[in-house]
Chain A
Amino acid sequence: MANLSAENVNVWFGQRHVLKDVNLVFPKNEVTALIGPSGCGKSTFIRTLNRMHELIPGAGLAGKVVLDGRDIYDAGVDPVEVRLRVGMVFQKPNPFPTMSIKENVLSGLKLSNRKTSDADGLVETALRRASIWNEVKDRLGDPAISLSGGQQQRLCIARSLAMEPEILLMDEPCSALDPGSTRRIEETILELSEDMTIVIVTHNMQQAQRVSSRTAFFLAEDGNPGQVVEFGSTEQVFNQPIDLRTNDYVNGHFG
């Protein structure tokens, strides 16, 4: 049933090997959490899933990322098509500064030259799903950067949702949010997972347990490239980890 998987993914930045032999399967309509200490390669990995390393000179990749049976790094695959199916929310909020709140929500359509018959409806739905509608409904024409950091992040989530991706990648989406917005985002994630596959990077162990059904633990041991130490159901990774290092990490003994 899986429609997204990573097979032996390795990543280099220049000469530096930062990710080694990552094998992960992301089952359809499930939330998978990626956890691990800072610098172990979680962001690097999640960015391989929609070909975001294209922009980084010197970045290299080995292995495959398979989406519905097709390797997305195949020479014949248009990265734009991949990204339309695999949306992404970044670690730092990055709304388009030249656009208003509303334009930001619709920016994906504009940028990919698509049309919608009901722009206002789409804007409202997306903003509601990202639980920011009530805060901005009276100021949709304001510049997006007039929002607070946490609001900007939820706007970015709305912007991705407006494109209705099949898979959503979220790189620490809540790191800039207050507890209230974090909880609302978590509720959103659970709702979305009814018809969307979600991969989320988080440093918050409780969050991983609240939202995900599966968890992968990444670790880069002194100077070695990052690897997946443990991958399984969230329940098992947190409560009966097989690897000692996982046990130490989820219980806050290192990292």
Chain B
Amino acid sequence: MSQNETTAAPERRSLRAKPFAKADRIFYRVSTIAANSSIVLVSLILIFLGIRAWPAFESQGIGFVFGSTWNTSVEPIVMQIGPMLWGSILLSILGVMLAVPMAISIAYFIVFMAGKKLGSSVSVLVDLLAALPSIVLGLWGLLVFSPVAADWAKMLHDALGFIPIFANSGDNFLRSPFIASWVVAVMIVPIIASITREIFSQLDRELISASLALGAGRWSTFRRVILPTAAGGIVGGVLLGLGRALGETVAIYFVLNLIFDINIFNILEPKGGSVASMIMSKFGEASTAEVSGLMAAGVVLFLVTLFVNMLASYIVAKAQPWRK
């Protein structure tokens, strides 16, 4: 054979192995079916919702998402969910902003500060909080928390009312996005905290040792070593929390006024929105045409959640070039 003939690269071969053992084959089969059926399920739900929602999208046009009026007593009826949609997003943002520092502090305490006993009892408590039914949280929010939070809101307004965010035109501090976002925060803190705890406890302790050995204090170790290393996982937890916040219905319904008038950022006004709560509040007495509108609202909420998830995984991937 001459040298020239060998220059063509040999044919590439697949490196994938197929399962041989019986247990492996069954396991592969089950995993594949499960994975595919989740896709099928999501598509079916979307299709079902889409068909029922189509008349509303058709009659309302783009105004359905961006308009601010919901009036079913006129002909033709007007259904626009702008304030509700923005309300859902606002509550989620505020809720996450309140929840993330709390959740991370709790996780840090459990993993790095508390001893075994204290740490595991705090964990159990936090997980219990996650298991709290949202109706219970809603009642607590309405009867116990709202009056207290209204006082906080008033203090905020008195001190910082000159900043538009903390403006309040009347003297009613109840049923505002401010209060609802605290309730949302209470709801998602345990989710984010238990995921962050898991991430922290799997962190390589040698990294912390290395950091301390270089003369780092606890805070700079946290900020420059622990947090960056755990960031991807924490974002995952935040996403789960965000999903819950966007879809939360009952608890928010108890503590927030749903008003079809856009309120961009006056978080202390008793005026807010939430797509999910709105759907629940209207579903009982809805006409056929209105039900179609509520379905359409559900579709929009679903798409927003999907978008947020995709955006977040993109951010995670961008922020962690070392994790390929």
The answer to whether A143 and B321 touch (CB under 8 A), given A107-B224, A112-B220, is: yes
What 1/0 flags go to A104-118 for Cβ under 8 Å of B?
Answer: 000110111100000
Stretch at the interface among A21-29, A88-96, A227-235, A247-255: A88-96
Q: How far is the CA of A17 from the CA of B229 in the complex (A)?
A: 35
A97 touches B214 (CB 8 A): no
Name the residue of chain B whose CB is nearest to the CB of A86: B213
B210 touches A94 (CB 8 A): yes
Q: Does A191 interact with chain B (Cβ within 8 Å)? A: no
Q: How far is the CA of A101 from the CA of B215 in the complex (A)?
A: 19
The answer to whether A94 and B214 touch (CB under 8 A), given A110-B224, A145-B322, is: no
Q: How far is the CA of A222 from the CA of B224 in the complex (A)?
A: 43
The answer to whether A112 and B215 touch (CB under 8 A), given A96-B207, A97-B229, is: yes
Name the residue of chain A whose CB is nearest to the CB of B229: A98
A80 touches B210 (CB 8 A): no
B224 touches A94 (CB 8 A): no
B209 touches A90 (CB 8 A): yes
Which of A88, A92, A111, A143 is close to B220, meaning CB atoms less than 8 Å apart? Answer: A111
Q: Does A201 interact with chain B (Cβ within 8 Å)? A: no
What 1/0 flags go to B206-218 for Cβ under 8 Å of A?
Answer: 1111111111110
Name the residue of chain B whose CB is nearest to the CB of A103: B224
Q: Which residues of A contact B208 (CB under 8 A)?
A: 55
Which of A52, A83, A88, A97 is close to B322, meaning CB atoms less than 8 Å apart? Answer: A97
Q: Which residues of B contact A98 (CB under 8 A)?
A: 225, 228-229, 320, 322
Q: How far is the CB of B48 from chain A (nearest CB, A)?
A: 44
The answer to whether A83 and B213 touch (CB under 8 A), given A57-B115, A143-B321, A145-B322, is: yes
Q: Does A174 interact with chain B (Cβ within 8 Å)? A: no
A52 touches B204 (CB 8 A): no
Q: How far is the CA of A165 from the CA of B300 in the complex (A)?
A: 60
Stretch at the interface among A2-10, A128-136, A156-164: A156-164
Q: How far is the CA of A112 from the CA of B116 in the complex (A)?
A: 29
Q: Does B221 interact with chain A (Cβ within 8 Å)? A: yes
Per the 8 Å Cβ criterion, residues 172-228 of B in contact with A are: 204-217, 220-221, 224-225, 228
A143 touches B322 (CB 8 A): yes
Q: Which residues of A contact B220 (CB under 8 A)?
A: 110-113
Q: Which of A54, A87, A94, A156 has the largest number of chain B CB atoms within 10 A?
A: A94
Count A-B pairs with CB separation below 8 Å: 79
Q: Which residues of A contact B215 (CB under 8 A)?
A: 80, 83-84, 108, 111-112, 163
Q: Which residues of B contact A197 (CB under 8 A)?
A: none
Name the residue of chain A whose CB is nearest to the CB of B116: A57
B212 touches A83 (CB 8 A): yes
Which of B115, B212, B225, B320 is close to A96, meaning CB atoms less than 8 Å apart? Answer: B225
Q: Which residues of B contact A52 (CB under 8 A)?
A: 209, 212-213
A87 touches B205 (CB 8 A): no
Which of B210, B221, B224 is close to A90, meaning CB atoms less than 8 Å apart? Answer: B210
Q: Which residues of B contact A55 (CB under 8 A)?
A: 205, 208-209, 212
Q: How far is the CA of A50 from the CA of B204 in the complex (A)?
A: 20
Name the residue of chain A whose CB is nearest to the CB of B112: A55
Which of A54, A111, A146 is close to B214, meaning CB atoms less than 8 Å apart? Answer: A111
Name the residue of chain B whose CB is nearest to the CB of A111: B216
Q: Which residues of B contact A156 (CB under 8 A)?
A: 210
B211 touches A111 (CB 8 A): yes
Q: Which of A50, A88, A111 has the largest number of chain B CB atoms within 10 A?
A: A111
Q: How far is the CB of B234 from chain A (nearest CB, A)?
A: 13
Q: How far is the CA of A88 from the CA of B110 in the complex (A)?
A: 28
Q: How far is the CA of A79 from the CA of B225 in the complex (A)?
A: 19
Q: Which residues of A contact B205 (CB under 8 A)?
A: 55
Q: How far is the CA of A16 from the CA of B63 in the complex (A)?
A: 72
Q: How far is the CB of B313 from chain A (nearest CB, A)?
A: 18
Name the residue of chain B whose CB is nearest to the CB of A162: B214
Name the residue of chain B whose CB is nearest to the CB of A100: B322
A111 touches B206 (CB 8 A): no
Name the residue of chain B whose CB is nearest to the CB of A79: B212
Q: How far is the CB of B113 from chain A (nearest CB, A)?
A: 10
A160 touches B214 (CB 8 A): yes
Name the residue of chain B whose CB is nearest to the CB of A113: B220
Name the residue of chain B whose CB is nearest to the CB of A88: B213
Per the 8 Å Cβ criterion, residues 48-64 of A in contact with B are: 50, 52, 54-55, 57
Name the residue of chain A whose CB is nearest to the CB of B214: A108
Q: How far is the CA of A46 from the CA of B152 in the complex (A)?
A: 53
Q: Which residues of B contact A92 (CB under 8 A)?
A: 206
Per the 8 Å Cβ criterion, residues 141-163 of A in contact with B are: 143, 145-146, 156, 159-160, 163
Q: How far is the CB of B207 from chain A (nearest CB, A)?
A: 6
Q: Which of A84, A92, A96, A143 has the largest number of chain B CB atoms within 10 A?
A: A96
Q: Which residues of B contact A143 (CB under 8 A)?
A: 321-322
Name the residue of chain A whose CB is nearest to the CB of B208: A55
The 4 closest A-B pairs by CB, nearest first: A111-B216, A108-B214, A112-B215, A84-B215
Can you give 11 A-B contacts (C-beta < 8 A)? A52-B212, A52-B213, A55-B205, A80-B217, A88-B213, A108-B216, A111-B214, A111-B216, A111-B220, A112-B217, A159-B210
Since A50-B213, A96-B210 are in contact, a sample of 4 more A-B pairs with Cβ atoms closer than 8 Å, ordered by chain A residue number, is A57-B115, A90-B206, A94-B209, A111-B224
